[in-house]
Amino acid sequence: MFRLWGKLFLDNHLLKDYVVENPDPQETRTHKVFAALDELAHQFDLPVPIWLDSNIRDFKRNAKTRFRQDSFMEPIEFDFLEIQIIEED
């Protein structure tokens, strides 16, 4: 089972959170992450963020990253979206 936790923060307060599950063992980790991020964006009614080099580096190192205003094409009403893998096959 693959589970990714998405959280929206404003002023260090959790606004919303959602856990995306993907039980398909045939998919690659990268595909699971991108599919989960698409689902999070849909759940939170946000555009899908752009992966910057810093996001990729953080995610590879910690299985966690934060998307701030510079990752979104439109203005956002929160400080950052944080994603974190909480379970992997």
Q: What is the pLDDT of residues 62-88, one digit of tens each?
A: 999 999 999 999 999 999 999 999 999
Of residues 80, 84, 73, the one with CA closest to residue 8: 80
Expressed as residue numbers, the domain containing 81 is 2-87
The structural domain count of the chain equals: 1
* CB atoms closer than 10 angstroms to residue 8: 21
* CB atoms closer than 10 angstroms to residue 38: 12
Q: What is the pLDDT of residues 43-65, one digit of tens each?
A: 999 999 999 999 999 999 999 99
Of residues 64, 5, 2, the one with CA closest to residue 40: 5
What pTM did the predictor assign?
Answer: 0.93
